[in-house]
Amino acid sequence: MSPVRVDDAHGGSFVKVFGLAASKFPGCGRFSPGYTERVPPVDNYLVCASQRSGSTLLVESLAATGVAGTPEEFFQEFPSSSHSPQPREWFADVDDPQILDLLAEVDDGVVDGRTFAQWRADVLAEGRSANGVWGGKLMWNQTPLLITRARIGSGSLRAAIRALLGSDPLYVHVYREDVVPQAVSMWRAVQTRVWRHDGGQDADTAVYHAEGIAHLARILLQQERSWRDWFVAEGIEPLEIEFAELTKDPSGTTARVLSALGQDPTLAPPPPLKPQSDARSKEWVERYRDDAVRNGYPQ
């Protein structure tokens, strides 16, 4: 049987479960058959991830519901350039011309002169849906930018998040167990500057380079370790979502997040993105694994 959700007059939800164990409906506590428990609405949530972890699939699915904010990467742009990290900036400590020649030159951009108050107002307005729920996405490499924007002298990420949102959000941790396909996907993306597919055909001129992939794998592994260490240090238990689970059942995974937000899980849409992995990615993954064994690259 399926859970039945009923809105109450206070903006919350009741979820009535008939014959379901709690583990079958995450985020709603423990249930006995026929038991009804109120799921309080959540005003804010933050998706914590690393690049190519599947987080875009999740946030676009959530945005499509119309009740889970408009989660974007609001924290990726450097105030000095108004750009997110550019391809060569991911390789700032690399001097191999064979790698750098595959990546676009850095564009200086323009300075973003907004004050914290102006920037905060923009972020909150852009990330909120009509029902008042705000959503955003934060990569670990973007955390210094958020702290700088919030002007938190202590350097505390949690203080910066609270300064932005006014309180702690629901933390949603999206991660990928296998870093090799993640790094391969990112290596292709930094070369082509295509970070998402909309169903069209892209001219992919990316070139395989084992050391380029290894460099990104190290970054991605460090980001994931940093998230996990931070959650432990702060005593935070995020809602955990692994890439394989998400890509196997995007609608079901989105429904799980909606339930945790106190929203209607039946609003979860079909997947909005074309899968980015293809035969070339799979070939590169196997090729890199062989190179990693020979050369001691991370995997």
> How do residues 99-141 score in pLDDT, each as one tens digit?
999 999 999 999 999 999 999 999 999 999 999 999 999 999 9
Does the structure show a pLDDT above 60 at 20? no
Q: Which uninterrupted H or E stretch holds 163?
A: helix 157-165
- Alpha-carbon 135 to chain mean position: 11
Question: What percent of the chain is predicted at pLDDT more than 70?
Answer: 83
Q: Is the pLDDT of residue 29 over 50?
A: no
- The torsion defined by the Cα of 290, 291, 295 and 299, in degrees rounded to 10, comes to -70
Separation of alpha carbons 232 and 244, rounded Å:
23
Indicate the pTM of the whole model. 0.84
Q: Which amino acid is located at 260 in the chain?
A: A
Least Cα distance to 94 among 190, 180, 184, 178 occurs for: 190
Q: CA torsion sign, 176 to 141 to 206 to 198?
A: positive
Tokens of 186: 């990112």
176 vs 243: CA distance, rounded Å: 5
Asked if 73 is an active-site residue, the reply is yes
What domains sit in the chain, N to C, each tagged with a CATH number?
Answer: 44-295 (3.40.50.300)
Query: Of 246, 72, 48, 239, nearest to 157 (Cα)?
Result: 48
Separation CA 272–CA 279 (nearest Å): 21
Contact 91, 103 (CB under 8 A): yes
Given 60, 73, 77, 224, which residue is catalytic?
73
**Confidence at residue 216, expressed as pLDDT on a 0 to 100 scale:** 98
User: Which amino acid, 112?
Assistant: D
Treating both helix axes as pointing N-terminal to C-terminal, what angle do 179-192 and 279-295 enclose, rounded to 10 degrees?
A: 120
Cα–Cα dist 150/95, whole Å? 33
